[in-house]
Chain A
Amino acid sequence: MFLSNDITQNTEMLDRHVVQPADPQHPTILSTEDLHVYYGKKEAIAEGDLRFASNQITALIGPSGSGKSTFLRSLNRMNDRIATVTGRIMYRGVDINQPDIDVYEMRRRVGMVFQRPNPFAKSIYDNIAFALRLRGVTDKHALDEIVETSLKQAALWNQVKDDLNKSALALSGGQAQRLCIARAIAVKPDILLLDEPASALDPVSTSQLEDTLLELKQHYSIIIVTHNMQQAGRISEYTAFFNQGRVLEYDTTSHIFTNPQVQVTSDYVSGNFG
């Protein structure tokens, strides 16, 4: 199923080990080639070369400051104006890291959910509907329907269906984060990028969020940054381990956790540092 060599525990561990997913059922939907990211002169990502499988969950793990967020934010050009990103980001055969790409359209295909829930100071309904209205969806029935399906997919519909006109700022943290997911999927993306989406949530909300992500991967390809190793283990098919701006190891999640090939990965997933 993978290009991986036979897994024999090396006594001498490698310093880098990247096995790209190659599952014909889940073809690559997004890939980075020779990606470098600089904040001013400081290089935050040196050579990121990763392929992401469609309709799967890929986890990005690694110590704080290793460049996970920087990498993720480069994928939908959220680092424009903040950092310099060189290299290619291939999405459906197009390099979306080119200057002449329609960034606004691209970001609707590659949605993003942030670490801290950031619902807008609008009603629950408008949080989802207003971006659609701006893009010309004005039919009330169409909007109602999108709002409902998005909220259902984000597993929030039952809790808010009678309060759609209430302010989204009154939602609890977990609900607010679900609303942000609903908002992101309402514009019908292919890919969802999530940067530690559960780090501000309590354990119950976190576990609900994980269930939701497992549901969502039927419709979306998910890339999630997490500092929670159990979470990566529970929900992701693939895991990339970042350290000091480089991807040290990339493989199936089970390999990363049970049989890491790189000493640093091994230390990290067993909790010896990070």
Chain B
Amino acid sequence: MINPKTQNKIAIGTLYGVAGLVVLILMALLGYILISGLPQLSWHFLTAPAKAFLKGGGVGIQLYNSFYLLILAMLISFPIALGAAIYLYEYAKDNWVTTTIRTAIEILSSLPSVVVGLFGFLFFVVKLNLGFSILSGAFALTFFNLPLLTRSIEDSLRTIDTTQREGGLALGLSRWETVTRVILPAAVPSILTGVILSAGRVFGEAAALIYTAGQSAPALDFTDWNPFNISSPLNPMRPAETLAVHIWKINSEGIMPDAKAISSGSSAVLVLAILLFNFAARYLGKRLYKRLTSA
């Protein structure tokens, strides 16, 4: 029998060890990606279009596509997720309907993204005849994102104390007024953090996009902002390979001579972007919260 003090020490030591190992692996991974990728980065690399057979292609269009898809997917999924979360947390009674919805969300959120992608291919691309397009991709990303975002917003609402709701009702506000004027403003920092974090996930998603937004990045004319023109960056019906899909594609079938370098560079860009999302989420969340709670 070891005494409690030693036991405690061993437990803490083990926990530190495990945590340290995880951090170490993460650092090694990040370090490897950044060390091999950062030297590839240049203005040219970030802006030039890709080349299929020759050296010296960039990822400009893929990078742009990633952001455009992200924004579209967020524009579609955020209002739906917000509505669903408000309904589930603020209005729904605990009955079988709510339970069913929650279970559905649970299942959706655990679907492998490649399954979401195949569903998107069959439904949006083929059935609705949207083709390999930004729109198909955005819908697939919405399916991928919706459950997680709904849960994250619901969690944000949960952090607002019930006494706040009672405070609103006691002043003669309706439930809707209480939610929109008291609860949502107070939950904004936490909701924002959740949205940015999910944006990071969406940004790095590849499997859901391969068969929906497609694997080709037609040349874009950045002077043409008419969304109906095929080479317009805004056109939602064009196929749009994203950065994450690009990495996957180069590694599986890239035939340009500098495929390895481009893949490393793209990975570094992706990782940097996602890190940026994460830090932005923390920073903005904290700042907003401070602004709400102090002077």
Q: Is A130 an interface residue (CB 8 A)?
A: yes
Q: Is A26 an interface residue (CB 8 A)?
A: no
* A134 engages B292 (CB within 8 Å): no
Interface residues of B in 130-162 (CB under 8 A from A): 161
Q: Are A134 and B295 also in contact (CB < 8 A) when A114-B167, A120-B167, A120-B182 are? A: no
Q: Are A118 and B163 also in contact (CB < 8 A) when A167-B292, A170-B293, A170-B295 are? A: yes
Q: Are A169 and B293 also in contact (CB < 8 A) when A120-B186, A130-B181 are? A: yes
* A118 engages B172 (CB within 8 Å): no
> How distant is the Cα of A139 from the Cα of B295 in the complex, in angstroms?
25
* B173 engages A131 (CB within 8 Å): yes
Interface residues of A in 76-133 (CB under 8 A from B): 76, 78, 104-108, 111-112, 114, 116, 118-122, 130-131
* B171 engages A187 (CB within 8 Å): yes
Q: Is B166 an interface residue (CB 8 A)?
A: yes
Q: Are A104 and B174 also in contact (CB < 8 A) when A114-B167, A180-B167 are? A: yes
> How distant is the Cα of A108 from the Cα of B171 in the complex, in angstroms?
6
Q: Are A78 and B166 also in contact (CB < 8 A) when A107-B171, A108-B171, A108-B172 are? A: yes
* B172 engages A105 (CB within 8 Å): yes
Q: Which residues of B contact A118 (CB under 8 A)?
A: 161, 163-164, 166-167
Q: Is A166 an interface residue (CB 8 A)?
A: yes
* B292 engages A187 (CB within 8 Å): no
> In the complex, which range does the number of interface residues on chain B fall in?
20 to 34
Q: Is A183 an interface residue (CB 8 A)?
A: yes
* A104 engages B173 (CB within 8 Å): yes
Q: Which residues of B contact A104 (CB under 8 A)?
A: 172-174
Q: Report the count of interface residues on A (CB-CB < 8 A).
A: 28
> How distant is the Cα of A106 from the Cα of B173 in the complex, in angstroms?
11
Q: Which residues of B contact A183 (CB under 8 A)?
A: 167, 171
Chain A nearest CB: distance from B195 CB in Å? 18
Q: Is B100 an interface residue (CB 8 A)?
A: no
Q: Which residues of A contact B163 (CB under 8 A)?
A: 114, 116, 118
Q: Which residues of A contact B294 (CB under 8 A)?
A: 166-167, 169-170
Q: Which residues of B contact A155 (CB under 8 A)?
A: none
Q: Which residues of B contact A131 (CB under 8 A)?
A: 171-173
> How distant is the Cα of A9 from the Cα of B172 in the complex, in angstroms?
46
> How distant is the Cα of A111 from the Cα of B294 in the complex, in angstroms?
27
> How distant is the Cα of A135 from the Cα of B186 in the complex, in angstroms?
21
Q: Which residues of A contact B173 (CB under 8 A)?
A: 104, 131, 134
> How distant is the Cα of A45 from the Cα of B164 in the complex, in angstroms?
26
Interface residues of B in 172-200 (CB under 8 A from A): 172-174, 177, 181-182, 185-186
Q: Is A184 an interface residue (CB 8 A)?
A: yes
Q: Which residues of B contact A187 (CB under 8 A)?
A: 171-172
* 9 nearest CB pairs, A to B: A108-B172, A118-B163, A121-B186, A112-B170, A107-B172, A169-B293, A118-B167, A131-B171, A104-B172
Residues of A within 8 A of B (CB): 76, 78, 104-108, 111-112, 114, 116, 118-122, 130-131, 134-135, 166-167, 169-170, 180, 183-184, 187
Residues of B within 8 A of A (CB): 161, 163-164, 166-174, 177, 181-182, 185-186, 291-295
Contacts A116-B163, A120-B186 known; 5 new A-B pairs at CB < 8 A: A105-B172, A107-B171, A114-B166, A118-B163, A170-B293
